[in-house]
């Protein structure tokens, strides 16, 4: 890759595309590490505190409630105060709250802190992808944003490693303390991350009201794209958090002990990286809609097989394909979303879409907990997620527009 410059830091020195990708990507990695560890912590907490499946489901759902609030609030303010400031604030919020959650002794306190973690996480993700989208050339924008998303796989991998080696020996509290480390990284961000070049030249954004920005997202020009994004985000997040936050618990439910379940989920997590890298290659070669549609269909098929798997080999293979396709689709989703709007409402539009998605993330884990308590099989539950994913596919096919090589407004 070349290292063309895309912005300046505080000392007005040019910063390369690769450096921006690295700086934003490491923040993304810490986000994934927190979410990834949560999926393992849920399984550990269930054993430690004697939680029911419904109570465990609430842990994942309150995280998504916070993400919905954070995506909306911080997405709107990203169009008022800049992408960089919001990126820093949200990073500190979720890091500190995650570290404090390690010291809780009641489920209520843990849920309250997980809400704050979710706010920071939900605000950071769309803002970071918007910042990177606005900072690279159209011909490579899709690839770079998907590569940014690939840091998510690295974070999940670290989370799986920490969970496998730390939780069984030192417990879930130590694992959560490790997620507080990103707070120190925010200091580095302050000095080395430029704001979006598109935002800095849009001074009129400061004169616009938040209400006007929200209204414009649903104006005639952008209503079709907004509807498509809301359907897509809801179905993707609903299915992702319903399936992936429960993966370790599902493995335990299929008869494996906790340590063995963690090991198998770690193996499945490795498949996320090639999912991202192949999506990154296809997205600028063939297009956003192709990657979203094909990878989401692959996700639905893999989920159906995983939910009904009866042998270890099929379970592992389908789990790896599930990780491969689903996370590749996520990369395309983050590349596709900011491209639907002009710079002046891009943070608002992306944040609102992500917020709607997080509503799906609230119901996904709760649904799994409710249905497991009611006696439904994993196969039936995963079939529901397959249907949801296919609704998202239909939305992209009929409402989505191709944005490959499109210059951002």
Please determine, for residue 5, whether its predicted confidence score (pLDDT) is greater than 60: no
Q: Residue 216 sits in a domain of what CATH number?
A: 1.20.1250.20
- On whether residue 149 sits in a domain, the answer given is yes
99 is a domain residue: yes
- 276 neighbors 147 (Cβ within 8 angstroms): yes
Rounded-to-integer distance, Cα 226 and Cα 95, Å: 31
Burial of 184 (0-12, 13-18, 19+ CB in 10 A): exposed
Integer Cα distance of 259 and 236 in angstroms: 29
9 confidence band (pLDDT: 50, 70, 90): very low
Best CA proximity match to 88, nearest among 120, 113, 112: 120
Number of domains in the chain: 1
- 95 and 179 Cβ atoms separated by less than 8 Å: yes
Q: What are the backbone dihedrals phi and psi of residue 22, each rounded to the nearest 5 degrees, phi first?
A: -65, -45
363: in domain: yes
The tokens for 15 are 């910063």
- For the cut 80, the answer to whether the pLDDT of residue 364 exceeds it is yes
Pick 302 or 78 by higher pLDDT. 302
pLDDT at 207: 66
Query: What is the dihedral sign for C-alpha 332, 73, 180, 249?
Result: negative
pLDDT over 60 at 100, yes or no? yes
Please tell me the predicted confidence (pLDDT) of residue 109. 95
The pTM of this model reads 0.80
Higher pLDDT: 159 or 204? It is: 159
pLDDT computed for residue 398 by the predictor: 97
- pLDDT computed for residue 244 by the predictor: 85
**Does some domain include residue 375?**
yes
- Highest average pLDDT, of 2-11, 135-144, 192-201, 338-347, comes from 338-347
Extract the tokens encoding 154: 């690295």
What's the whole-number average pLDDT of the chain?
Answer: 85
181, 255, 214, 226: which is closest to 345 by C-alpha?
Answer: 214
Cα distance between residue 24 and residue 155, in whole Å? 13
Q: What is the pLDDT of residue 3?
A: 43
**Residue of 93 and 54 predicted with greater confidence:** 93
DSSP letter for each residue of 63-78: HHHHHHHHHHHHHHHH
pLDDT (average), residues 120-148: 85
For the residues 242-267, what does the mean pLDDT come to?
A: 81
- Distance of alpha carbon 246 from alpha carbon 349, whole angstroms: 30
The domain containing residue 149 runs over which residues?
15-190+212-399
Nearest to 149 by CA among 280, 22, 283, 331: 331
CA distance 30 to 181: 8
DSSP class of residue 219? S
**Could you tell me the CA-to-CA distances from 107 to 42, 114, 364 in Å, in that order?**
11, 10, 20
Q: Which residue has the higher pLDDT, 382 or 82?
A: 382
Tens digit of each residue's pLDDT (9 = 90 or more) over 209-254: 788 889 999 999 999 999 999 999 999 999 998 898 778 777 877 7
pLDDT for the residue 190: 62
Domain assignment present for 327: yes
pLDDT band at 198 (very low <50, low <70, confident <90, very high): low
CA-nearest of 60, 83, 77 to 129 is 83
Question: 404 lies in a domain?
Answer: no
Of 23-32, 59-68, 285-294, which one has max mean pLDDT? Answer: 285-294
Tokens of 172: 């879930």
Q: Per-residue confidence at 202, pLDDT binned at 50, 70, 90?
A: low
Instruction: Give the least confident one: 181-195, 212-226, 240-254, 324-338.
Output: 181-195
- Stretch among 14-23, 357-366, 374-383 having the lowest mean pLDDT: 14-23
Q: CA-to-CA distance for 163 and 171, rounded, in angstroms?
A: 9
């Amino acid at each position: 890759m070349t290292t063309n410059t895309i912005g300046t830091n505080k000392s007005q020195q040019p910063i390369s595309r690769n450096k921006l990708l690295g700086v934003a990507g490491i923040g993304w990695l810490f986000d994934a590490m927190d979410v990834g560890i949560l999926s393992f912590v849920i399984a550990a907490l269930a054993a430690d505190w004697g939680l029911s499946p419904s109570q465990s489901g609430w842990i994942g759902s309150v995280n998504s409630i916070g993400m919905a609030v954070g995506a909306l609030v911080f997405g709107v303010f990203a169009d008022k105060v800049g992408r960089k400031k919001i990126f820093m604030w949200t990073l500190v919020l979720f890091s500190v709250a995650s570290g404090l959650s390690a010291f809780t002794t009641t489920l209520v306190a843990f849920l309250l802190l997980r809400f704050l973690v979710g706010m920071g996480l939900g605000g950071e993700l769309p803002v970071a992808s918007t910042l990177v989208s606005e900072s690279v050339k159209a011909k490579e924008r899709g690839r770079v944003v998907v590569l940014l998303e690939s840091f998510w796989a690295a974070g999940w991998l670290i989370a799986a490693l920490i969970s496998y080696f730390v939780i069984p020996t030192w417990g879930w509290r130590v694992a959560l303390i490790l997620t507080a480390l990103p707070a120190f990284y925010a200091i580095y961000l302050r000095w080395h991350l430029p704001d979006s070049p598109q935002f800095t030249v849009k001074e009129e954004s400061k004169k616009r009201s938040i209400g006007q920005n929200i209204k414009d997202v649903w104006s005639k020009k952008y209503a079709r794209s907004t509807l498509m994004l809301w359907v897509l985000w809801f179905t993707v997040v609903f299915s992702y958090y319903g399936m992936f936050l429960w993966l370790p618990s599902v493995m335990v439910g299929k008869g494996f002990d906790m340590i063995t379940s963690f090991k198998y989920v770690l193996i499945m997590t490795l498949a996320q990286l090639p999912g991202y890298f192949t999506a990154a290659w296809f997205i600028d070669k063939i297009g956003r809609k192709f990657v979203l549609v094909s990878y989401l269909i692959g996700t639905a098929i893999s989920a159906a097989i995983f939910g009904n798997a009866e042998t270890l080999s099929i379970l592992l293979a389908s789990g790896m394909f599930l990780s491969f396709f689903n996370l590749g689709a996520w990369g395309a989703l983050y590349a596709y979303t900011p491209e639907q709007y002009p710079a002046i409402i891009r943070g608002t539009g992306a944040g609102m879409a992500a917020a709607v998605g997080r509503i799906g993330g609230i119901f996904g884990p709760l649904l799994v907990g409710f249905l497991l308590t009611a006696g439904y099989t994993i196969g039936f539950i995963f079939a529901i997620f397959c249907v949801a994913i296919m609704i998202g596919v239909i939305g992209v096919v009929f409402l989505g527009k191709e944005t490959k090589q499109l210059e951002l407004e």
